[in-house]
Structures are given as structure tokens and as C-alpha cells.
Amino acid sequence: MNATITTTAYSVPDKVMTNNDLENIVDTSDEWIRSRTGILQRHVVSQDEATSDISSKIAEKLLNQSGIEADQIDLIIVGTVTPDHFTPSTAAIVQKNIKAKNAWGFDLSAACSGFLYGLVTGANFITSGQYNKVMVIGVDTMTSILDFKDRDTCVIFGDGGGGVILEPSKNNFGIIDSMMHMDGSGGDYLIVPGGGSRIPASLKSVKERQHYIKQDGKTVFKHAVKGMSDVSARILTKNNLSGDDIALFIPHQANKRIIDAAAERCGISEDRVLINIDKFGNTTAGTIPIALDEAVNANKIHDGDYILLTSFGAGFTWGSILIKWETK
């Protein structure tokens, strides 16, 4: 028995920050950002918005669109690196907000791979026969950990997320294969140094700006290209498929150049690659579920289509999921 995605949804804050807006904040330009990332704008939270607010809106949309009652949800998994608090979990806050009284859940930290890690984890609870309805959300409020004096990071990220409901497949379609990886030796190249038990919050850590995300862009770029390209190619080969068999390729929206390289490696033509980084930027765990819901709403996915998802994130973490789409 496979797990299949029966409902998709996404939510982003109303406020939009354009590249021109960033020109007034940091030493950058619209041309510089466009040429290096493909980003034109990103959505950002207002002062009274947090990750659980976005997550709860996603969860409510999933329930409304599916017709499922909140008390029918068995499990809530939230992939995020920007929770409201260390504890309680964002999943617990979502469970409270939507009144999913019979659900348990947890947050999962895998940065930009958070949604794929969550999707695989949720799918395993379905295939085990233990649960019938699992909600998986990928969401981040990246502006909460951005240093707007660091142009190498602050121009890349945005806020938002998306989610799905997983249920047992009726036709043995759905998630048919996955490959997940991690290499902890890459941890220092993309990191938020402060705030945890290694560097607890203090006047010194705040003054040294240790609570913002730091990255070695060139190193991350090199590993992302190789990681996403290799794992996508391998999962196709393992399943006796080629790029021509993929109806839609939905990669993590980190950088258009990374996306183009991964698609080329897999032999997937540009018209079958979903790119929305221009509108949303890099929402970390939110990129793939946002793109997936856009594709569903635009009727780009049909029953029996092969869909390929791939991501790369801090950790390093990366992976790919192959789906045979099942229309509910």
C-alpha cells in the first residue's frame, strides 16, 4: 500500500518585498539579484505574524478543500527551521488552532529538505497501516533569522509554506520511491550559530549577530547542484525511467541556476520544470509544497503522471521523491 497526496494548499504573507525595496536596505541591486538567483520579489511576514500562523492557515485550507474534519487527522508533521518557539512545537500549536483533538505530531528540522523529509516520514506511517490521514506542512519564516546587513543571504529568502494531506492509495499510485541523504560535514557552510545549547542567547551572541543565518554561498551552490542532480538522476534510473517520462519536475527553489543544472542532468525539458522562485524567493521548507499546490491549481498534473520532487538544504540534507499522481 502506497501513500498518496489527496489535497494540497499553500499560504504566504500578504506583504511583498521587491528587489527594489531591498536596494533601500542593503548594498545590492535588482539586476544583481535577478542575474544570480532569478528572484524578483518575496513575501515577508508583518510584525504580528509567525510560523504557526502561516502553518495554521495552510492546515485550515487543507481541511476545507478535502472535506476532512479536524478530528479525523491522525498525525501532523511540520518541517521548519523557524518555529515560533523551541517548545512547544509548531505542530502542537497547529493542532490546537485547528482543533485536531485526535492528532499527535512533531516538528522536523531539515532546512530546505524539511518538506521532503516530512513527506517520507508521513508516508511511512500510512504504508505501515497505522494511520489513514497525515498532514504534512513545510513552512518557514526566514525573515526572522535574516541579517539585513548581509546581502549574500537577505536577498535570497522569503516567508511562506504549503502542505498536503496523505492518505492510502486506492490504485497503488502515490509515493512510489524516495531517496534521502545527509552529510553532517557540511553543517558549518549553512548555519545559524547562536540560540541553541552550543551558543546560548546572550548579550555577546546578539552583538556578534550569531542568531542570523550564515552561509558560504559558493560551497553551498556547488554541493546543491551535485546533490540535487545526482539524486534525481539515480531515482529515475532505479525506477527504469528517463527525463522524458516525467510530466513535471518540482525542485527546491533555491536558485534558478541550480534548478536548470538539475533539470539538464536528468534530461527534463524546460517546459516540464516548475519555477516560481521569481515570485516567492527561497522559502526553505516551503518551496516545494507551494510549487506543488500551484501546479495542481493550474491543472499541470493529471492522473497517472510521474512527478519528481528534489531538494537540498542545510545539514547538508538532500533527497528526491518520485510520485505517480493519483486524482482523488
Cα angle vertex 187, ends 214, 44, to 5°? 40
Cell of 208: 556578534
Beta-sheet pairing, 214-215 with 246-251: unpaired
Active-site annotation holder among 19, 43, 112, 266: 112
CA end-to-end distance (rounded Å), the chain: 16
Active-site annotation holder among 2, 19, 255, 282: 282
Cβ proximity of 123 and 24 under 8 Å: no
Beta-sheet pairing, 75-79 with 134-141: parallel
Question: What are the Cα distances from residue 182, in Å, to 79, 90, 269, 316?
Answer: 16, 23, 28, 6
Going by C-alpha positions, the residue among 172, 173, 175 that lies closest to residue 134 is: 175
The answer to whether residue 181 is catalytic is no
Cβ proximity of 265 and 233 under 8 Å: yes
Q: Is 311 helix (H, G, I), strand (E, B) or coil?
A: strand
Question: What are the Cα distances from residue 235, in Å, to 4, 111, 268, 315?
Answer: 18, 22, 14, 21
Beta strands in the chain (DSSP E): 3-11, 16-18, 41-43, 75-79, 104-108, 134-141, 159-168, 174-182, 190-191, 214-215, 246-251, 306-313, 317-324
The answer to whether residue 154 is catalytic is no
Active-site annotation holder among 154, 252, 255, 266: 252
**CA atoms of 93 and 10, how far apart (whole Å):** 18
Cβ proximity of 318 and 228 under 8 Å: yes
The answer to whether residue 112 is catalytic is yes
Which residues are part of the catalytic machinery?
A: 112, 252, 282
